[in-house]
Amino acid sequence: MKHVVVLVPGFFGFAQLGGIRYFRHVEQLLDARFHQAGHEVRIVAAATSPTGSIRKRALKLADALNRAAPQADERIHIVGHSTGGLDARLLATPGVSLGPGADAYHRRIQTVVTLATPHFGTPVAAFFSSLAGKHLLFAVSLLMVVSMQGVGGRSMAWLGRLLALVSRWDDLLGLDNNLLDFLARKMLAEFDQKSRDEVMRWASSIISDRGALLQVTPEGMDIFNAAAVDNPGTRYLSYVTAVPPPSLKILLGNARDLYFPASYALFSGLYKVADGESSVYPYPEFPAYLEQAALRAWNVRRLDRLTDGMVPSRSQLWGEVAGLVQGDHLDVCGHFYPGKGIASHTDWLRSGAKFTPEVFHDLWGDIAARLCGLPSPAVRSSSFQPCPSSRVGTGLRRRAE
């Protein structure tokens, strides 16, 4: 059997930037798993508009499919991380009008897989739309790139200074563009000129077009979900990410890591913002079997207030909930701290989630198996809990209803 798998990046919207791949090691892992199952696969990494509107991003996704030119005998699967999952849903919506070149795929998309996707919105989007949030968004973008690159001492030292600055939330309003630009260039000092210019153009584009921020608020997603209805010919799978709430115990447990305190302070601030909930546009409730899985695996009795640092976990439910992952927002894309004794630093922010290579392989092995139509393989870590196929979809019950 032949397949085309399109990987769609999330909020930051790049396939490759400054030598960094958004989906780190994912392509190699999926390729290996498909071939082990006796299936042919082509994997396409789509580049979208970083923080442009979901419509703009869906058009970019359609362009990536056009370039891939899937043949009639190839099954099309779209795997979207974060906002990328919304791009996939919009492209698959029957009757949606996106423009020439996009309409041809409505009937051909067999599977939409969403990872850490804000199907019912996230408060972080509204915060990033504010003046303080605009500065933080620029800073977090650069933090992500530099930490993912795992560059040398000078860049990491300036990264630490920026972390210390932006983790003090009261100082955000006092930041100005000149200071941020100065810090950015210091942080990117060990990038070559071409990569440095590429990253700065990308970061500037995030500030200039923040259309997606307005759309992925709980209020905006209420409209989106009314319009982006599920395609009856497409299977929808969602994977839910969550990390433990910030605590002094986690902080003290990582006291020897000089990078951890400032990084964890910023992560804790984002977690607190993501933990908010609108009484007017509430998130769905977790089905009982998901709470039971979390209790068995993580000894967590209630998932209500958990987030991955960017998106509330309850907002990530859609279609068939395929698995629960103990990891932060970018861990699942392959950007996680690999552990003690390993020099390269590939995390974005330290969350204390203890995401490991075993969890990463369990998650993407499960995704590959489901796309191939095979049973979920045995898992090696309790931090990933695969769930039996059980559609919950738009029938998820909300507290206010």
Tens digits of residue pLDDT in 156-207: 556 666 666 665 555 555 555 666 667 677 777 777 788 778 777 777 777 6
DSSP per residue, 18-36: TTEESSTTHHHHHHHHHHH
Give the pLDDT confidence score for residue 4 in this predicted structure: 96
Q: DSSP letter at 279?
A: S
Q: Cα dihedral sign for 385, 391, 396, 397?
A: negative
If pLDDT is split at 50, 70 and 90, which confidence band does 127 have? confident
**Which residues neighbour 50 within 8 Å (Cβ) at sequence distance 6 or greater?**
11, 12, 13, 14, 202, 205, 206, 209
Q: Does position 272 have pLDDT exceeding 80, yes or no?
A: yes
Specify whether 115 is located in the same domain as 178: no
Specify whether 109 is located in the same domain as 141: no
Tens digits of residue pLDDT in 233-250: 999 999 999 998 888 988
Give the pLDDT confidence score for residue 238 in this predicted structure: 96
Specify whether 320 is located in the same domain as 173: no
Specify whether 230 is located in the same domain as 300: yes
Task: Tell me the C-alpha to C-alpha distance, in Å, between residue 29 and each of 32, 290, 357, 378.
Answer: 5, 27, 12, 16
Residues 332 and 209: their CA atoms lie apart, in Å, by 26
Q: What is the CATH number of the domain that holds 87?
A: 3.40.50.1820
Specify whether 183 is located in the same domain as 240: no
Q: Does position 71 have pLDDT exceeding 60, yes or no?
A: yes
More confident residue, 384 or 269: 384
Give the pLDDT confidence score for residue 203 in this predicted structure: 72
Tens digits of residue pLDDT in 334-378: 888 765 544 444 677 788 888 889 999 999 999 999 999 998 888
Give the pLDDT confidence score for residue 53 in this predicted structure: 87
Average model confidence (pLDDT) across the chain: 81
Residue 327 near residue 298, CB atoms below 8 Å:
no
DSSP per residue, 135-162: HHHHHHHHHHHHHHHT--HHHHHHHHHH
Residues 151 and 148: their CA atoms lie apart, in Å, by 8
Within a domain: residue 251?
Answer: no
- Which of 366, 322, 333 lies closest to 27, judged by CA? 333
Specify whether 25 is located in the same domain as 80: yes
DSSP per residue, 296-346: HHH--S--TT-B-SSSBGGGG--SEEEEEEES-TTGGGT-S---TT-----
Within a domain: residue 262?
Answer: no
Residue 282 near residue 301, CB atoms below 8 Å:
no
Mean local confidence (pLDDT), 30-36:
95
Specify whether 282 is located in the same domain as 185: no
Total number of domains in the chain: 2
Antiparallel, parallel or unpaired: β 40-45 and 20-21: unpaired
Specify whether 105 is located in the same domain as 234: yes
Tens digits of residue pLDDT in 76-101: 999 999 999 999 999 999 888 787 66
Specify whether 326 is located in the same domain as 194: no
Specify whether 285 is located in the same domain as 221: yes
- Three-state secondary structure call for residue 281: coil
Mean local confidence (pLDDT), 131-146:
69
Give the pLDDT confidence score for residue 134 in this predicted structure: 67
Domain end (from 157, 191, 209)? 209
Tens digits of residue pLDDT in 200-232: 777 777 766 666 778 899 999 999 999 999 999
Task: Count other Cβ atoms within 10 Å, centred on residue 368.
Answer: 25
Specify whether 137 is located in the same domain as 115: no
Residue 316 near residue 114, CB atoms below 8 Å:
yes
Specify whether 115 is located in the same domain as 185: no
- The first and second tokens of residue 39, run together, are 């299936």
How much of the chain exceeds pLDDT 70, in percent? 78
Within a domain: residue 256?
Answer: no
- Which of 157, 124, 168 lies closest to 345, judged by CA? 157
- Which of 118, 40, 10, 24 lies closest to 371, judged by CA? 40
Mean local confidence (pLDDT), 272-280:
85
Within a domain: residue 264?
Answer: no
Domain limits for position 166: 130-209
